[in-house]
Amino acid sequence: MAHLNNNSMAQVINVQMNEQNYNQLNSHTHSQASINWTLAFLAVMVGVNLRPIMASVSPIIPILHDMVGMDNQTAGLLTTLPVAMMGIFALFSPRLQAKVSEYQGVMLSLFAIAFACLLRFFIDSTLPILATAIIGGIGIALIQTLMPAYLKRMASDNTSVYMGLFTTGTMGGAMIASASSAPLAQTFGWQTDLAIMAIPAFIAMLFCFFSMHRLPSHGEGFLALPIQSKNAWLLLLFFGIGSGAYALVLAWLPLYYMQLGWSSSASGGLLSLFTIAQVVSGTLISIFIKRFPDRRRIILLALSLVLLGLAMLIMMPASVTGLVLLSVSILGLGVGGLFPLSLITSLDYANNGKQAVCLLAFVQGGGYFLASIFPLVAGALVDVFGSLTNAWIMMIVGVLFLLALSRKFHPTTFKVFG
């Protein structure tokens, strides 16, 4: 009888222990799910702020022509300068991360973006507008290298997924800014239109304050930029030319169709359609990227769409609205896929957060500086020839080069760090 009682007690204890283990496992699962959702929202919220300071300008270029006497080449600088700052200051981000945490760097960068946007409410001439573009570009540069490193540290097994969300947020911010810029300028004035883009940055700062982990800086110094690695230079070229396509369209797509008889609001709407297609493409990549460990197949698809979209911009008549919408959508899908893929592919060849900061600083530093040339050259071509057709042809040549270059990105044999 005592033996039976002992067995019964043992069974009760086993049941209680199993229930306790189940509860602990269930609690851990819910906790991990909460962390995953928080990290996903954080990636999107921070990413949203990286393009409005540029995307809000192109739909109102005719207003800037009339109000401050800005010519096309100078208007191109409003995109060129932030992109150039992204490149120059990205090179310093490894040194910055060795001294401050990713949290501190991202918060400081968001403040710089918000401050640059707010300043635009008080200015009424060309030079100060260009100064705000520089300030905003510095903030964007630091976020674009520190945030991927943070995602690499927080979710090393799913970095590509969160990077897809981060770049989707980036393109979503461009979509919001381009769609709202012309209507806001017509309703409240161009200064208010440009200044209101500070609001998302302040919201992101609040979200970071309450949800971003205060991970310490690495403290052991920083890795030197991989200048000696030929493969790092190839990644730089790939990212730079691909980003040049994005900067070119962002800066000049509305004006291209204004010259072909579209209104400023309708042309700004095309830029919104372009960015909507980018968001769709970036979202699909964040969902399916883990199914493509060899990134070359999906890169080929993205580049083919960019090539087709650029060719259609040149060839399709602007009077056929449906064809224009199709051309811009295809281009947006291609560019929207190319941007996250170039970052994700670079991160594939970094083994830890420190290498990620080092490699992305080099790739984005030189890459964005290269990309900054494209809208400036396009502005000069517009002033000389009165048309953007030559700029689209220039970009087609660049995409053909990327098609050849991307074949080298083998998932195992292509290496940057020994």
Cα separation of 203 and 60, whole Å? 25
Question: Residue 119 CB: number of other CB atoms within 10 A?
Answer: 19
**How far is CA 219 from its chain centroid?**
28
| pLDDT beyond 80 at 305 | yes
Give mean pLDDT, residues 285-291. Answer: 84
Give the C-alpha separation, 239 to 371, whole Å: 8
**pLDDT, mean over the chain:** 84
Q: From CA 212, how far away is CA 232, in angstroms rounded? A: 30
Residue of 96, 254, 95 whose CA lies nearest to 182: 254
CB neighbour burial string for 65-90, b if at least 16 within 10 angstroms, e if fewer: eeebebebbbbbbbbbbbbbbbbbbb
Nearest-angstrom CA–CA distance, 332 and 35: 31
Instruction: Express as a percent the part of the chain with pLDDT over 70.
Output: 89
Report the Cα–Cα distance between both ends of the chain, in Å, rounded: 70
pLDDT value for 12: 46
Instruction: Answer for the pair 290, 340: CB distance below 8 angstroms, yes or no.
Output: no
Instruction: Say if residue 29's pLDDT is above 70.
Output: no
Closest to 332 in 3D by CA, of 93, 171, 140: 171
| Contact present, 373 and 245 (Cβ < 8 Å) | no
CA angle 235-339-277, nearest 5°? 160
- pLDDT at position 22 over 70: no
What pLDDT score does 24 carry?
47
8: pLDDT confidence band, cut at 50, 70 and 90?
A: low
Percent of the chain clearing pLDDT 90 (strictly above): 32
Type of residue found at 408? K
Give burial (CB, 10 Å; 0-12/13-18/19+) of 200.
Answer: buried
pLDDT score of 114: 96
| The pLDDT value given to residue 32 | 60
Q: Identify whether the C-beta of residue 203 lies closer than 8 Å to the C-beta of residue 81.
A: no
Q: Which two tokens stand for residue 399?
A: 């995409």
pLDDT at position 368 over 80: yes
* Fold topology of 42-406: Growth Hormone; Chain: A; (1.20.1250)
pLDDT recorded at residue 328:
95
Given a cut of 80, is residue 220 above it in pLDDT?
A: no
How far is the C-alpha of 346 from the C-alpha of 339, rounded, in Å? 11
| Statement: residue 52 has pLDDT above 80 | yes
- Find tokens 């981000």 and name the residue: 93
Residues 6+ apart with CB under 8 A from 33: none
Amino acid at 387: S
pTM confidence score: 0.74
**Gap between the Cα atoms of 55 and 73, Å rounded:** 16
Asked whether the predicted pLDDT for residue 251 surpasses 90, the reply is no
Contact present, 326 and 51 (Cβ < 8 Å): no
Most confident stretch, 61-75, 170-184, 224-238, 247-261: 224-238
Which of 94-108, 122-136, 160-174, 325-339 shows the highest mean pLDDT? 325-339
Query: How many whole angstroms separate alpha carbon 127 and alpha carbon 137?
Result: 15
Per-residue b or e along 266-286, where b marks 16 or more CB atoms closer than 10 Å to that residue's CB? ebbbbbbbbbbbbbbbbbbbb
pLDDT in tens, 308-362: 999 999 998 888 989 999 999 999 999 989 988 998 899 889 887 778 878 888 9
The pLDDT tens digits of the residues spanning 84-103 come to 888 888 888 777 777 778 88
In the numeric block, which tokens belong to residue 211? 């949800």
Q: Identify whether the C-beta of residue 114 lies closer than 8 Å to the C-beta of residue 166.
A: no
Work out the burial of residue 390: count CB atoms within 10 Å of its CB; fewer than 13 is exposed, 13-18 middle, 19 or more buried. Answer: middle
